[in-house]
Amino acid sequence: MGLTGSRPALALSRQVAVALGYDAARDRAPRILASGRGKTAEEIRRIARRHGVMVREDGDLAELLGRVPPFEEIPPRLYPVVAELLVFVYRMSRLASAPKS
């Protein structure tokens, strides 16, 4: 389950980490897979990096998404900011898969 059909994405700040995912067969909108502050955020960050999850350092986005309970779909008012994250994930995925010259 991932935002781009492959992997989740992670928004984070120094103190907050939020993992998002989307399953087109089940979800109407991306949902919060995990979120936490402090030591929990550090653990989410460590697991995300170990699994190659796309990470975006964005404190404002992490704070907004951190208010959504885990496993809940994001509310419509956050669609525009999550759309920005999706664009980031898409661009990074394309860069990562582009042939090296």
Beta strands 54-57 and 31-37 are unpaired
| pTM for the model | 0.79
pLDDT grade, residue 37 (50/70/90)?
very high
Spelled out in words, what is the top-level CATH class assigned to the domain 9-97?
A: alpha beta
What is the residue extent of each domain of the chain?
Answer: 9-97
The 10 Å Cβ neighbour count of residue 14 is: 10
> Span 55-67, mean pLDDT?
89
Q: How far apart are CA 4 and CA 20, in angstroms?
A: 11
pLDDT grade, residue 8 (50/70/90)?
low
